[in-house]
Structure 1
Amino acid sequence: MNAIVDFLNTIFWGYVLIYGLLAVGVYFTIRLRFQQILRFGEMFRVVLAAPKTDKEGISPFQALCTSLASRVGTGNIAGVAVALNLGGPGAIFWMWLVALVGMATAYSESTLAQLYKVHDSSTDSAVYRGGPAFYIARGLGLPWLGGVFSVCLIISFGLVFNAVQANSIADAMVGAFGVPKIATGLVLAFLTAFVIFGGIRTIATVAEYVVPFMAGIYLLVALYVVVTNITEVPGMLGHIVASAFGFAEVGGGVAGGVAAAMLNGVKRGLFSNEAGMGSAPNIAAAATPVPHHPSSQGLVQALGVFIDTLVICSCTALMILLSGAYVPGGELTGTQLTQSALQEHVGAFGPYFIAIAIFFFAFTSIIGNYSYSEMAMAFLGLGSTTGLLVLRCLVLLMVVWGALQAVATVFNTADASMGLMATINLIAIVALSGTVVKLTRDYFAKRARGEEPTFDASEMPELKGIDRSIWQRD
């Protein structure tokens, strides 16, 4: 079993996904005419638009916060430190680059999720259901492949990755406060149960308040570090760019030079922002977009990639690089490196702050990941009250188990499951790229005419598999 899983991970993560995710991001960037850069302001316009009443949908801002709850996790703290340790400062530049092209991928997959979403009445608190499984089944006519995707999503995001997040929290609590792992696991399971038993709407409401709070506090601390070291910031940014292309010496600890910087930056960037993985579109489908057009929710989720990598990951990188704790290829890495760096900047409070940040980042990842698996359950026809009860109990068990121990084989299996899931999603969105382009042109043509871009399904009768009752004009 180990040999099979390791082989699959080598194929998926060594070849298919590292290059596939990057290639698909470049493809959509070119095909959509660099809209993530040229239309950047439109992302804020749709996020800040006043939500409209819709009993089946959550607001665009809630969808953004819920996707950020999953995107912003321990990778933003530990993952950035690992990238710096293995790839040097230049790795951060490649993280930025992969986020820029990833914004186009995130836009495309979430636009498709909106277009192919469906009504749902399987539970009392019904919300729109959608995501990659739905556009694979309804857009490509391959329901069996949508089923494979859904199973992989539940295994990886719904169960095992939540155990990984719980393990990170437990380790942080032991290291900073000496709290026993079992106590952390039980408290975490209680908090998780309180949120996920309320369903998608409760998760969205919690994320709407917790995510801006946690990200805001983290950014304020980072801003303090930047301001107190402001004279060094321009030189450090220049050093990051120079190191990315081999124009600066990064120290003997980093082997591989430009190649190491590129590989580690691309890997950590992709793992952090999840663009193309097929995860965030599941919650994007639950939103009632404003304006009422599939592309507007795509723009919202593209902004999520920007916030995750270009804002939060950059803050972590600067806090580390502006400290004396960073030694390329040194013994300190991961969470310990970030804690040591912040301790230099703010004193003894630093390690405690990072432990608390990990708690919030990882906890919100758990509830965000669960929301994705609920969509997958609905696609499989298991979204009834009983089906969701079983899923929620399994999630809580995995949280407690994950806090206590880590079994490498199980986590490697989850990696293979996510690898298959992401591969299926990339093939699907490229196959449906013509639809993405049509929707995008329709949206911006109406905006250019001074109209609010409202999608009317009757204007594109060639589109098959969509629920036209959702996209008809009143």
Structure 2
Amino acid sequence: MDYGLIIKQINDFVWGPVMLALLVGTGVFLTVRLKFKPWLNLPYAIKMILAKKDSSEGDVTPFQSLMIALSATVGTGNIVGVATAMVLGGPGALVWMWISAAFGLSTKYAESVLAVKYRENNNRGEMAGGPMYAMKNGIGGFVGKTMAALFAAFAVCASFGIGNMTQANSIAAAFNSSFHVDPAFVGAILVILTMVALFRGVRSIGAVSSFVVPVMAAFYMIVTIVVIVANVANLPAGIAEILTMAFSPSAMAGGVGGSIVASIMSAMRWGVARGVFSNEAGLGSAPIAAAAARTDHPSRQGYVNMTGTFFDTMIICVLTGLVIASSGALGTIDPETGKAVSGAQLTILAFSTVFGEHARVIISCSLALFAFSTILGWEYYGEKALEYLWDNHDISVMYRTIYAFVTYIGATQALDMVWDFSDTANGLMAIPNLICLLWLSKDVARECFDYEERVAVREKRGEKVDLNLESTDYAKKSLI
């Protein structure tokens, strides 16, 4: 039995037109219902990232919560995912990644608001939240509890795919290609490092992420800008090809795409899928980290966490795409396989137009840091989802151990099957989350407009606002 073919067929069904419409449609609906506040308040949200609101209940600071979320999202999707999307969906896939991210701001905001609003304290005094708690406490009843259990189960499965195997696979492939390191050796090292890191808890992950994520993201952005500036003569043609192939009604190839053939449907399919893989808007993963934040209002953390989508996809992914588009590397045929170069190899090829052989070191090291941080971030998501299903410390320890050893499997398996498994797990995880967002959109809107009236407007005028000192009934209801 060809399990790879079976997974691919399931994946094609899960990520069909219905899922694409549900993902983007939910973002469009929320953006309109919230009167475009997530878009209009983006500068305000970015400014709030460093704001200290530590007097409220929670396990980590708002900034650390965002960094945990970014550690789980800024990963292979930014390097491998973009390149894969531009090969399978054509250069135009980059446009659909950006479009899905724009509406994903509202999706990420909404799911983070619900995560904080409906979070609970577990039996160890830690914050427990995320879509499963929003479903249980917000929707309630048999339907809400069933949706919550399904989401949690899918999240645990997804943690082994999007958060583990794809990351380990990409690290191993990059080091094997760049330094001829045996994937089995890379896998063994990953197992050891993961086991050491995972037994330190969420506060440690937050502290490490708050240092590593900004540094590695800043470094990667600088080197991408250097490549784009060096190849600036090719940039106008690259952008033109990206825009043309994003909306081409029929399959076509040309320009920077070389031998790449794609239509608007394939560009949309791969752009949205890889965009979601990168920023995770709509999956319901990042809200699990948002629920751990110390914050005085659900909407505040919603704004902070939605900036993750902005930085991840609208900045870092776009920079990677422009590097590839301006390099002329897209469409290069691998003489050994006869197929177009894809994944990390394509990104390395694009960077090598400026950095030569050093490109392999730059991409391999960036990929390793990005991917390993994702492995740690997603372990937290998976553990919290498992905690919802079975709140037992021994089970959590067992999960951490199994999770660490799965990195070895990911490092030594074929790339296509790993990516297909991840896409399938993502799709199954997103379905109950998106239904929850639509179901509880009234709650999101209420929190959004209350915050706008009582907090955002006043803070934009330079006034200091401390909701912890306010005694209104609504303020009490907002803090769970």
TM over 0.5: yes
Q: Write the letter of the residue equivalent to 1:393.
A: T
- Counterpart CA distance in 1 for 2:7 and 2:230 is 47
Q: Aligned match of 1:335 in 341, 344, 356?
A: 344
**1:390 is aligned to 2:398:** yes
Q: 1:314 — aligned with what?
A: 318
Q: Aligned match of 2:228 in 223, 226, 229?
A: 226
Q: 1:138 — aligned with what?
A: 137
**Aligned pairs for 1:171-210 within 5 A:** 171-210=173-212
Q: 2:428 — aligned with what?
A: 420
**1:459 is aligned to 2:473:** yes
Q: 1:154 — aligned with what?
A: 156
Q: 1:258 — aligned with what?
A: 264
- Counterpart CA distance in 1 for 2:307 and 2:418 is 33
Q: Write the letter of the residue equivalent to 2:155.
A: L
Change (3 A) 1:82 1:457: farther
2:161 touches 2:418 (CA, 8 Å); kept in 1?
Answer: no
Shift of 1:213: 1.4
Change (3 A) 1:236 1:442: same
1:84 touches 1:328 (CA, 8 Å); kept in 2?
Answer: no
**1:326 is aligned to 2:330:** yes
Q: 2:336 — aligned with what?
A: none
Q: 1:128 — aligned with what?
A: 127
**Aligned pairs for 1:428-439 within 5 A:** 428-439=436-447
Q: 1:350 — aligned with what?
A: 359
**1:86 is aligned to 2:88:** yes
SS of the residue 1:401 aligns to: helix
Shift of 1:161: 4.2
Greater mean alpha carbon deviation, residues 84-93 or residues 217-226: 84-93
- Counterpart CA distance in 2 for 1:168 and 1:35 is 37
Instruction: Provide, for residues 288-344 of structure 1, a one-character-per-residue CA deviation record: whole Å limited to 9, x for no partner.
Output: 12xx11011111121100111111111111211121322388721211111111111
Shift of 1:469: 8.6
Change (3 A) 1:438 1:325: same
**Consecutive unaligned residues in structure 1, runs of 5 or more:** 462-467
SS of the residue 2:164 aligns to: helix
Change (3 A) 1:158 1:285: farther
Change (3 A) 1:433 1:55: closer
Q: 2:167 — aligned with what?
A: 165
Instruction: Provide, for residues 35-88 of structure 1, a one-character-per-residue CA deviation record: whole Å limited to 9, x for no partner.
Output: 232111111122121242557421111111111111112121112112222333
Change (3 A) 1:74 1:65: same
SS of the residue 1:322 aligns to: helix
Instruction: Provide, for residues 149-172 of structure 1, a one-character-per-residue CA deviation record: whole Å limited to 9, x for no partner.
Output: 111111221467412321221121
Q: 2:242 — aligned with what?
A: 240
- Quick one: percent identity of the two aligned structures? 36
**1:359 is aligned to 2:348:** no
SS of the residue 1:48 aligns to: coil
- Counterpart CA distance in 2 for 1:287 and 1:35 is 22
Q: 1:281 — aligned with what?
A: 287
Q: Aligned match of 2:215 in 210, 213, 216?
A: 213
Greater mean alpha carbon deviation, residues 405-414 or residues 226-235: 405-414
Shift of 1:255: 3.0
Shift of 1:240: 3.0
Change (3 A) 1:278 1:404: same
Q: Write the letter of the residue equivalent to 1:401.
A: I
- Counterpart CA distance in 2 for 1:300 and 1:389 is 30
| Paired residues, number | 460
Shift of 1:246: 4.2
Q: 2:26 — aligned with what?
A: 24
Q: Write the letter of the residue equivalent to 2:439.
A: A
**Consecutive unaligned residues in structure 2, runs of 5 or more:** 334-338
2:163 touches 2:374 (CA, 8 Å); kept in 1?
Answer: no
1:139 touches 1:432 (CA, 8 Å); kept in 2?
Answer: yes
- Counterpart CA distance in 1 for 2:33 and 2:128 is 28
Instruction: Provide, for residues 107-151 of structure 1, a one-character-per-residue CA deviation record: whole Å limited to 9, x for no partner.
Output: 0001100111112233xxx43110011000010112232122111
Change (3 A) 1:322 1:453: farther
Instruction: Provide, for residues 402-434 of structure 1, a one-character-per-residue CA deviation record: whole Å limited to 9, x for no partner.
Output: 223349778755544432221000001100000
Instruction: Provide, for residues 432-471 of structure 1, a one-character-per-residue CA deviation record: whole Å limited to 9, x for no partner.
Output: 000000000001111324563738796349xxxxxx6982
Instruction: Provide, for residues 238-275 of structure 1, a one-character-per-residue CA deviation record: whole Å limited to 9, x for no partner.
Output: 54334433499734734344333333322222222110
Q: Write the letter of the residue equivalent to 2:157.
A: I
1:113 touches 1:132 (CA, 8 Å); kept in 2?
Answer: yes
Shift of 1:381: 3.5
For normalisation by structure 1, the TM-score amounts to 0.89
2:163 touches 2:379 (CA, 8 Å); kept in 1?
Answer: no
2:128 touches 2:292 (CA, 8 Å); kept in 1?
Answer: yes
Change (3 A) 1:143 1:457: farther
Shift of 1:233: 3.8
Greater mean alpha carbon deviation, residues 344-353 or residues 223-232: 223-232
Q: 1:269 — aligned with what?
A: 275
Greater mean alpha carbon deviation, residues 244-253 or residues 434-443: 244-253
Shift of 1:224: 1.2
SS of the residue 2:254 aligns to: coil
Change (3 A) 1:240 1:459: farther
Q: Write the letter of the residue equivalent to 1:367.
A: L
2:324 touches 2:330 (CA, 8 Å); kept in 1?
Answer: yes
Q: CA RMSD in A?
A: 2.7
SS of the residue 2:121 aligns to: coil
Q: 1:371 — aligned with what?
A: 380
